[in-house]
Amino acid sequence: MSGRVDSSVAAFLLQEMGFDVVGLTMNLFSLPKELCQSEQLRSCCGERAVEDAHRVAIRLGIPHFLVSLRREFEASVIADFVREYDRGRTPNPCIRCNERVKFRILLGRARRLGADFIATGHHARVVKDCRSRCYLLKKGKDREKDQSYFLYRLGQAQLARILFPIGGHTKSEVRDIARRRGLPVAAKPESQEICFAPLGDYSKFLAQRTSGPFRTGPIKNREGRTLGEHKGIGHYTIGQRRGLGISAPRPLYVVGIDAAENAIIVGEERDLYQKGLLASEVHWVSGKTLDEPVVVRAKIRYKHQEARALVVPISSHRARVEFDRPQRAITPGQSIVFYHRDVVLGGGIISRALG
């Protein structure tokens, strides 16, 4: 229970289905008290979130526990986040948190408490396919709020123990249920920030933990000519236009980050489009290894429109992805997720773009 409307309604719906429900709130990271008490900060962190989750639990009449996973979160998510930026990559910590903390460590804790399932407020669905006897991870009903992209690293053993009670509801339906039930978080704003980087200020957070991505260095064009000086590669991502501080006849964008040379590579809009990519840490929800190429719909970032692509296996955990049409701003460190209609097939971490 994050203290927001989705997980609160999920708990209520489980009660309605006859489940014996216990609320768990993860303590992952501490922010300054004034930030966590702020109504404006859209982050699921700290004291305010715990208080709201507890108020909902009281309203529903269920036990509520705070589970400290700060050490695990630091080791599994934050350390990975910092390492990736040191390598000039742009990671997605929410995917790592779901994979390593929420649906591995927290699931284990819940099982030790005697729970048969762990449920969350994700907009996604789990369905068991009778023919294959395989659990399918599917998109949520509300396609604007669908969060299946963040869950692609889940496997069969986890999906067998996971419930997504609001996956068959739209966001407006979820809020209506919360209002009708009198839940105190019915109108609470959505969480839109990474919990350990308030207001999206990743650079400030990173600068407190590592100096590598914040050493100044050259901004170069694709031919290797120096055009200016950057403020540190941690301030930039592929596709970025603002903040370059250089003038040119045509708009320039970040088209590459060379961590080894501490250089930012810039080019024109057309240089952002690539025909394919290499993916590592490839994971298939079914648990089966891909033996031959398969056609999928692929997303290279959460808000990316799905694109038709061919996934060609290189090894059990590496693949080459070839798009029908070049895609804009393929970013190393981000996840590419593969779909067949509304079913999540799997995905991987983008290693590099292929021209």
Give the DSSP letter of residue 278.
E
> What is the dihedral sign for C-alpha 17, 23, 28, 32?
positive
Active-site option among 36, 44, 94, 195: 195
Does 35 have pLDDT greater than 70?
A: no
Q: How many CB atoms lie within 10 A of CB 143?
A: 11
Q: What is the mean pLDDT of residues 130-155?
A: 97
Query: Looking at the DSSP assignment, which residues form a beta bridge with residue 256?
Result: 265
Domain 215-267 has CATH 2.60.40.1290: no
Q: How many helices (H) and strands (E) does the chain have?
A: 10, 16
Give the DSSP letter of residue 100.
I
Per-residue confidence (pLDDT) for residue 190, from 0 to 100: 83
Measured in whole angstroms, how far is the alpha carbon of residue 56 from the centre of its chain?
26
What are the domain boundaries of the chain? 5-200, 215-267, 273-354
**Token representation of residue 142:** 């509300």
Burial level of 307, CB count in 10 A (0-12/13-18/19+)? middle
Q: What is the mean pLDDT of residues 139-152?
A: 98
- What's the chain's average pLDDT? 93
Q: Tell me the C-alpha distance between 228 and 246, whole Å.
A: 6
Is 44 an annotated catalytic residue? no
Per-residue confidence (pLDDT) for residue 47, from 0 to 100: 78
Active-site option among 44, 45, 97, 130: 97
Per-residue confidence (pLDDT) for residue 40, from 0 to 100: 46
CATH top class, domain 5-200:
alpha beta
Largest CA distance in the chain: 67
pLDDT tens-place string over residues 39-51: 444 445 567 889 9
pLDDT tens-place string over residues 221-238: 999 999 999 999 999 999
In whole angstroms, how far apart are CA 182 and each of 12, 47, 50, 55, 119? Answer: 11, 22, 18, 11, 21
Does 38 have pLDDT greater than 60?
A: no
CATH of range 273-354; options 2.40.30.10, 3.30.70.600, 3.40.50.300, 3.90.950.20: 2.40.30.10
pLDDT range class, residue 191, cuts 50, 70, 90: confident
Q: How far apart are the first and last CA of the chain?
A: 44
Q: HEC profile for 186-220?
A: CCCCCCCCCCCCHHHCHHHHHHCCCCHHHCCEEEE
pLDDT range class, residue 199, cuts 50, 70, 90: low
Q: What is the pTM of this model?
A: 0.94
Per-residue confidence (pLDDT) for residue 49, from 0 to 100: 86
Phi and psi at residue 64, to the nearest 5°: -140, 130
Q: What is the mean pLDDT of residues 47-67?
A: 94
Is 134 an annotated catalytic residue? no
* Consecutive H or E run containing 95: helix 93-97
Q: What is the mean pLDDT of residues 28-57?
A: 68
Per-residue confidence (pLDDT) for residue 192, from 0 to 100: 65
pLDDT range class, residue 93, cuts 50, 70, 90: very high
pLDDT range class, residue 36, cuts 50, 70, 90: very low
Q: Tell me the C-alpha distance between 321 and 327, whole Å.
A: 11
Per-residue confidence (pLDDT) for residue 113, from 0 to 100: 87
pLDDT tens-place string over residues 257-279: 999 999 999 999 999 999 999 99
In whole angstroms, how far apart are CA 231 and each of 198, 251, 260, 264? Answer: 21, 19, 16, 10
Q: Tell me the C-alpha distance between 76 and 99, whole Å.
A: 9
